[in-house]
Amino acid sequence: MKTLAWLAVLAAAPLSGQETVRFQLPSGAVVHYQPFAGSRPADGIAQVSGGLRRRIDDTRGRPALAFDVHVDPVDSSTLRLWLSRVPGAPFFAQAPAPRDLHPGDHVMLDVLEQPGTGRKLFDTLCAGFRSTPMRLPLSPPHPPSTIAAGAILRLDRARIKDGDTVIAGSSSTVSGVRVRMAFPNGGEYTVSSEPGPGFRLEAVLYEPGAHTVLVFPDGDTLYGVVCASAILDQPGSWLVWVRRDVSPTVAPKPAPAPGFPEEQIRALSGLIRPEARPLSPSLPPPELKLWRVP
């Protein structure tokens, strides 16, 4: 899977920012769409003839930008994503070129830049077929920033969680631009502060209190990596690059699906709660192996 970033200048069922909406298109494609965190209730996305329509309004309720999203199957392993203009509404200064995707690919749409801060806001979508396992990363309550290339990530006594149960843990601390994790279910993943071949910008770094949590999806599974101290030496929420190096042989139970902000906080509570229970009261969790990637 790969992540594609499309630049925009940035309805209709109202949305609440972190809600993920699932659409079955007439073309046969299935699309999961998640507007950026903090989207106003007046903004939204709805299914229209041949695709999806996304609209973002300004403070006076007028369209600031609108576009239609089309996903057309090319064959059993390829889908074509393209955007089109909505008559009478502002559009991109330059229309993005059509892109070919594999089922399950994630696409991040750079739809808005906050004045003064330069922070970019992203819509996220995932496309596939009915049989394609798909899960989008959960948006934090506040819009995340994209991590600076070369920033140092620090996994301090990391624990892997499935809901409120620890399924693996490490007593060591590893730091670097890229850090690789080997899970006891056979899966291996690398998190990075900079892009590279195979990396997807779909891990979300949270900072609930004294603990830092990194959440990322793999197919229809959500992983939570909880550390004893901050993963990044900057407060706030961040988008981090992640790559699956080895597929897991056994997947843990999927975490709850994301919803509206208050529902999302409840859904995340199991992943980010520090007082997690081990798999067995008398045995430590299986070892989580960590190492720095040159």
Q: Which is more confident, 173 or 64?
A: 173
Q: Would 139 be classed as within a structural domain?
A: no
Query: Are both 159 and 121 inside the same structural domain?
Result: no
Range of the domain at 159: 146-292
Query: Are both 211 and 270 inside the same structural domain?
Result: yes
Q: Would 54 be classed as within a structural domain?
A: yes
Query: Are both 218 and 288 inside the same structural domain?
Result: yes
For residue range 98-122, what is the model confidence (pLDDT) as tens digits? 989 888 887 878 776 666 666 667 7
Q: Mean pLDDT lowest for which of 71-75, 124-128, 207-211?
A: 207-211
Q: Would 141 be classed as within a structural domain?
A: no
Query: Are both 151 and 282 inside the same structural domain?
Result: yes
pLDDT, averaged across the chain = 76
Note the maximum CA span of the chain.
66
Query: Are both 151 and 287 inside the same structural domain?
Result: yes
pTM score, two decimals?
Answer: 0.63
Last residue of a domain, one of 112, 134, 156: 134
The backbone torsions φ and ψ at residue 207, rounded to the nearest 5 degrees and listed phi first, read -135, 75
* pLDDT at 194 (0 to 100): 94
* pLDDT at 37 (0 to 100): 65
Query: Are both 96 and 16 inside the same structural domain?
Result: yes
Query: Are both 286 and 172 inside the same structural domain?
Result: yes
Strand 145-146 relative to strand 238-246, pairing: parallel
Query: Are both 106 and 178 inside the same structural domain?
Result: no
Query: Are both 178 and 68 inside the same structural domain?
Result: no
Q: Would 88 be classed as within a structural domain?
A: yes
Percentage of the chain beyond pLDDT 90 is 24
Last residue of a domain, one of 102, 134, 166: 134
Last residue of a domain, one of 79, 105, 134: 134
> Averaged over 179-191, what is the pLDDT?
91
For residue range 265-281, what is the model confidence (pLDDT) as tens digits? 344 444 444 444 444 44
Total count of domains within the chain: 2
Q: Would 140 be classed as within a structural domain?
A: no
Does the pLDDT at position 243 exceed 50? yes
Q: Would 155 be classed as within a structural domain?
A: yes
Query: Are both 151 and 288 inside the same structural domain?
Result: yes
